Amino acid sequence: MKTNRILKASLALSIVVIMGLSFWSFKTDQKNFEISKNLDIFYTLFRELNLFYVDDIKPEKLIKTGIDDMLESLDPYTTYIPEDEMDDFKFMTTGEYGGIGALISRRGDHIVVAEPYEGFPAQKAGLKAGDVFVELDGKQVNKSTVEEVSALLKGPAKKVLKLKMLRPETKKPFEVEIIREEIKIDPVTYAGMLNDKIGYIRLSSFTDGCADRIKESFLDLRDKKGAKSMVIDLRSNPGGLLGEAVKMVNLFVRHGEEVVSTKGKVATWDKTYRATEQPIDTVMPLVVLVNRGSASASEIVSGALQDLDRAVIMGKRTFGKGLVQTTRDLSYNTKLKVTTAKYYIPSGRCIQALDYSHRNKDGSVGAIPDSLMHEFTTKKGRKVFDGGGIIPDVKLDQDTLCDLAYKLIQDNIVFDYATKYAAKHTSIAPPDQFIIDDATFEDFHQFLLSKPFTYESRSEQSLKNLIETAKRERSYDDTKAEFDALGKKLTKNVDSDLIKFRKEVNSVLSDEIVTRYYYQKGAVIVSFRDDTDIAKAKTILNNNQEYLSILQPVHVVPVSKGTKK
């Protein structure tokens, strides 16, 4: 009897397994059929378009549009990289490219040098911000796009480029030869001392080797400049390489600590990254500055240091990108950058803010609401949360430019005035001493009056929209007097606003002018003057008791860990 029961049970189990395998096989076959069917539909559709569409079509452009739209329906980070964009991809991951070392942009009908990088061919050849491209190797580029001129400037190192340029203030064309170099942009924009005890490092991106640059800068400030505490600035750092983020955290936490883990659909991408090297400093007080522009690898670093109670995170809530991308090779030297996993920092939380897998009916993506965020704890038991970026330990108000300063930048008024100023002044005071004095401010005022400059505040724009709505609803005539009265109150006067917002206008002028003489490092130094985030960081680091109190839990309550999904 017992043997019969075992045989029956075994037979039943076999039937279940066979049915399960058959169902799995059916699902796999069904999915493969759907893929084949839809690819065939796509091919035949494209063939018919090519044969019968009324105008000639551009196959490559049409296919790329289809690919881009298809990938965009998944998430913004899964992208197709064609062969002609491979140099840009290389620059994003390594910080290297072959070129002249300058940012370029469009000014009206012209392509101009927006900013030459210090120590690179453009700057060494004497090019300045504001210089206009006229010809490049004999080819006129006055009607070219920024992308077209950029493509001509980039290429193999050691090649001589012959440029014909125009300097606006002199109105005389000049010719210059520049030898292309392999340009390697230093991810550490600036490293120096904020005072005699506090060091400061700004990291612009997580490109290859950036952790080593952080290490070099940190040791120099600590061992040679006497830094007793450190500010690491990750504001507006969009991220980059996961491996570099892990190495950077490893500099400040004990060997063996978990830094981040990844989990995806394919088990190959499930991995836990730990601190595998000996750290350089596990005790120095650290403040990490973040804002809404801090994303991806910046959030791994700030989140891991927060979860391990190693640093005080200060600023604004970060962007909330908890997705990991992997690059896959395709045919014809193209690539696919595809989201393969989510990442989880040491407390177990994923800080992805947008749920791309559950879109709204109109295709939009909604943020994960606060009500669905889960509570986690740091190593010491402090409460932290998932679902929407890294929430700083010390939250600071969002700094926003006044409407006038924003419009002056947007309309290139500040840029053009700095070009004019630099043409008349061969040198200025060091960045930490340079100020916009009364004479310079009045000169800028007169320069502004000579331009066809007007601007609207956001309140005026909102009022216009409200009036249009009222007209559509046929209620405008009854309320026209009130609208007119409000409009007069909101109408901006440039002269009075220039005085009212002089401090902010001076700040953006100082940044642009100092950049002309001292480049990126100078711009960072002059920004310290009005940087309230850095002022708060200095206050906390100057008070060790306050610093330590932030890293201690108010009360420890056991909290169940969230589940990785």
- List the pLDDT tens digit at each of the 565 positions of the chain: 444 444 444 444 444 444 444 544 555 677 788 888 888 988 998 899 889 999 988 888 888 899 999 999 889 999 999 887 887 787 777 777 889 999 999 988 899 999 999 999 999 999 999 999 999 999 999 889 999 999 899 888 899 999 999 998 888 899 999 999 998 889 999 999 999 999 999 999 999 999 999 999 999 999 999 999 999 999 999 999 999 999 999 999 999 999 999 999 888 879 999 999 999 999 999 999 999 999 999 999 999 999 999 999 999 999 999 998 989 999 988 999 999 999 999 999 998 888 887 777 777 787 777 777 889 999 999 999 987 899 999 999 877 788 899 999 999 999 999 999 999 999 999 999 999 999 999 999 999 989 988 877 677 677 778 778 877 878 777 777 776 676 666 556 788 889 999 999 999 999 999 999 999 999 999 999 999 999 999 999 999 999 999 999 875 444 445 544 4
Last residue of a domain, one of 151, 184, 217: 184
Looking at the structure, tell me whether residues 148 and 243 fall in a common domain: no
Across 303-341, b (16+ Cβ under 10 Å) vs e yields bbbbbbbbbbbbbbbbbbbbbbbbeeeeeeebbbbbbbb
Report the CATH number that the domain containing residue 130 is assigned in CATH. Answer: 2.30.42.10
Q: What is the pLDDT of residue 142?
A: 83
- Whole-model pTM: value is 0.84
Domain count, the chain: 3
> 291: domain range?
188-398+546-550
Residue 198 covered by a domain: yes
Looking at the structure, tell me whether residues 282 and 357 fall in a common domain: yes
Looking at the structure, tell me whether residues 273 and 386 fall in a common domain: yes
Residue 51 covered by a domain: no
Please name the residues in contact with 223: beta carbons below 8 A apart, sequence gap of 6 or more: none
212 is catalytic: no
Looking at the structure, tell me whether residues 173 and 192 fall in a common domain: no
Looking at the structure, tell me whether residues 351 and 423 fall in a common domain: no
Residue 199 covered by a domain: yes
Looking at the structure, tell me whether residues 382 and 478 fall in a common domain: no
> What is the Cα–Cα distance from 288 to 227, expressed in whole angstroms?
16
Residue 459 covered by a domain: yes
Residue 71 covered by a domain: no
Q: What is the pLDDT of residue 507?
A: 95
321 is catalytic: yes
Looking at the structure, tell me whether residues 423 and 509 fall in a common domain: yes
**Which residue matches tokens 């076999």?**
14
Q: What is the pLDDT of residue 28?
A: 63
CB 334 within 8 A of CB 548: no
Looking at the structure, tell me whether residues 174 and 203 fall in a common domain: no
Catalytic residue among 321, 342, 521, 538: 321
Last residue of a domain, one of 184, 219, 249: 184
Helix/strand/coil percent split, the chain, to 5: 45, 20, 35
Report the CATH number that the domain containing residue 247 is assigned in CATH. Answer: 3.90.226.10
Q: What is the pLDDT of residue 88?
A: 78
Looking at the structure, tell me whether residues 359 and 417 fall in a common domain: no
> What is the Cα–Cα distance from 403 to 417, expressed in whole angstroms?
18
263 is catalytic: no
CB 344 within 8 A of CB 350: yes
Residue 24 covered by a domain: no
Please name the residues in contact with 255: beta carbons below 8 A apart, sequence gap of 6 or more: 275, 276, 277, 278, 279
Looking at the structure, tell me whether residues 120 and 197 fall in a common domain: no
Catalytic residue among 307, 386, 393, 403: 307
Chain centre to alpha carbon of residue 458: 25
What are residue 469's phi and psi, to 5 degrees? Answer: -65, -45
Residue of 451, 525, 465, 551 lying closest to 494 (CA atoms) = 451
Residue 559 covered by a domain: no
Q: What is the pLDDT of residue 24?
A: 46
Q: What is the pLDDT of residue 26?
A: 53
User: Does residue 115 sit in helix, strand or coil?
Assistant: strand
Looking at the structure, tell me whether residues 175 and 195 fall in a common domain: no
Looking at the structure, tell me whether residues 226 and 338 fall in a common domain: yes
CB 163 within 8 A of CB 118: no
**Which residue matches tokens 């901006």?**
492
Residue 560 covered by a domain: no
> What is the Cα–Cα distance from 428 to 434, expressed in whole angstroms?
7
CB 149 within 8 A of CB 141: yes
